[in-house]
Structures are given as C-alpha cells and as structure tokens.
A = this chain, B = another copy of it.
Amino acid sequence: MSGSDRFLDEAIDLALDNIRQGGRPFGAVVVKDGVVIARAANRMQADSDPTAHAELLALRAAGKALGSPRLDGCSVYASGQPCPMCMAAMRMSDIGDITFAYSDEQAEPFGLSTAAIAAELAKPYDQQAGLSLKHQPQEVTEDGHLYRIWQRQAGSAD
C-alpha cells in the first residue's frame, strides 16, 4: 500500500469513527516528511463551531505540533473534497499538496457537496448573492493608521 493510500485510509477511518460517534463523515490528516503529524474529524455539531471542519482542525493541530503557523512542506489527506474555507486555510498556510477520497460530485446526492458555495465564493464579491461587504473607511491621521501603529510596534520589537 502506498503512503498516499495509507494516509487517505487514515482520513477515512477518522470519518468512520466520527460517524459512529454521531458526527459528520469527514476526517483529515496532515503529513510532513512521510509522517502523520496531525489528525482530526469534523466537530461542527459537537462543538457548536461552524469552522470545525476536519481539515481546519487538522491544520490547527499541525501548527501546534510544529510550533508555528507556517505549514509549508506539509500535505493534507482528506476523506472528502475540501470546502472553500478549508481550501483557503490550506493555501494560506502554504499547503499546496492535497488529496481527497470522495468528491463533491459523490457528496451531492447526500447533501454534503460544497460545490455550489465554492462557485459562489469564486465570483467577485459584488456579484455574490446574499453578500453585503462594506468598506467603512476611518478618518485617522497618518500616525493613527492601525497598520502604521503595528509597523512601529513590530519594528521596535526587532
């Protein structure tokens, strides 16, 4: 059995365990240098947490395991096709190598596909249905600019 098969099997086993515990059918593992460094199953309902997807929880555990929010060099194996939140979370933590077992197409008959929301989120913000995204600029002096304050503080900490 290849490493890829083994890691995907572990993600699916996490999903199966989660089903037995009344959770949703999603599991994921994060792999670095051929070793699983983090694993998680979906906990949305158990934790009343809309962000508690398997992949997102696995990324959080991976950061903790590595002592850094940067996860470059890691791969993610997920039982299901990652949703746009988890795709963005992976890409923003420098993970580009992602393998999944069950596609959105396979998930669709069970109401588990996120393809429709992914398509919506790929549109320009002003064309997304049901979205009001407002920029409310602040009147501040150059010194009062939030990011300038951060830059000064970060600079003084160097």
Write the residues of chain A forming the contact surface with B, with a CB cutoff of 8 angstroms. 4-5, 8, 12, 15-16, 19-20, 22, 24-25, 44-45, 47-52, 56, 59-60, 63-64, 66-71, 79-81, 83-85, 87-89, 91-93, 96-103, 106-107, 109-110, 112, 114, 117, 120-125, 128, 130-138, 145-151, 153, 157
9 contacts between A and B (CB under 8 A): A48-B67, A51-B63, A80-B146, A83-B88, A83-B92, A84-B92, A84-B121, A96-B131, A106-B147
Complex Cα–Cα for A60 and B24 (A) = 18
Residues of B near A87 (CB, < 8 A) are: 88, 121, 125
Chain B residues with CB below 8 A from A138, complex form: 8, 12, 101-102
